[in-house]
Amino acid sequence: MFLRHSMFVAAMSLLLVSSATTAGAVVLWDQSNWNPNGEGSLNLSSTSACSQISGNTRLHTANDVHFSTAVNINSIKIYETHGNVEAATQAYLWIAPKTGALPTASSTDVNNAANIVPIAISYETVGTDQTVVVTASGLNITLPAGDYWVSLTPRHNRGSLFPWTIHRITSSAVVGDPTPSIEACTPNSNWIYVLAPAMYDYAIKIEGEMATPTLPSTWGALKSIYR
């Protein structure tokens, strides 16, 4: 009896370990196919005051993404054109459940000091075109399966020289809903499509870990031990 009990306890311990999340770095969402035509729109939060004269503004893009299982986000990348973003060291990172075709959050929820994260700047070249890769890493954000809005907006001034840094659109069709933007110079909840009537997704990649349950094989081990 003691032997059967000991074997059962050991099997249950195996079950608990095997059903836990298994770490493995993977791409959780990939729309990194940035369009080489350079089209896109502003995605920045100016460190100077908003002004029609200087052009400084606070305009956040938000991508809709879907996770079919629970995930742990380690890094988020967006793809922008050359410009003032290359000197940026911080960004606003906002993630919220998606409940409709447009977010309903206020600009004060997005452009919020609590959302500031460090970023790193790197470069990616496809053919003869190079893009700026803005990466927020070391995030360790756990989310259940579902649909979300994800916004990563670098903090820097627009600058006086044209062309300005813009968040690139993708080279493929829209997945889910198009990427909207919100202007955060004043509190509001007005999400818009900056390039309307044209509708686009903007380039983003999310990497991290996902759950890989091993319950079926563990259940087989349980049966062979306890029968």
Taking the alpha carbons of 26, 166, 111, 197 in that order, is the dihedral positive or negative?
negative
Residue 224 shares a structural domain with residue 149: no
Residues 73 and 7: their CA atoms lie apart, in Å, by 37
Asked whether residue 143 falls in the same domain as residue 220, the answer is: no
Q: In tens digits, what is the pLDDT along the chain, a chain of 227 residues?
A: 333 333 333 433 333 333 344 455 899 999 999 999 889 999 999 999 999 888 899 999 999 999 999 999 999 999 999 999 999 999 999 999 999 999 999 999 999 999 999 999 999 999 899 999 999 999 999 999 999 999 999 999 998 777 789 999 999 999 999 999 999 999 999 999 999 999 999 999 999 998 765 444 333 333 332 22
Residues 219, 174, single domain; the answer is no
Between CA 51 and CA 47 the distance in angstroms is 11
Going by C-alpha positions, the residue among 54, 56, 83, 69 that lies closest to residue 22 is: 69
Which pLDDT does position 188 carry in this prediction?
98
Q: Based on the fold, state whether residues 42 and 11 are members of the same structural domain.
A: no
Residue type, 106: S
14 and 107 fall within a common domain: no
**CA–CA separation, 58 vs 156, rounded Å?**
9
118 and 32 share one domain: yes
Full-prediction pTM beyond 0.85? Answer: no
The answer to whether residues 169 and 225 belong to one domain is: no
Task: Check whether residue 27 and residue 14 sit in a common domain.
Answer: no
Residues 15 and 72 occupy one common structural domain: no
Q: Which of 202, 73, 218 is nearest to 141 (CA)?
A: 73
Do 1 and 38 have their domain in common? no
Please check whether residues 11 and 105 belong to one and the same domain: no
At position 92, the amino acid (one-letter code) is: Y
What is the span of the domain harbouring residue 2? 1-21+214-227
List CB contacts of 199: < 8 A, sequence separation 6 or more.
174, 178, 193
State how many domains the chain has.
Answer: 2
Query: Can you list the alpha helix ranges (DSSP code H) found in 2-118?
Result: 2-18, 107-110
For position 173, what pLDDT does the model report? 95
Q: Are residues 85 and 14 in the same domain?
A: no
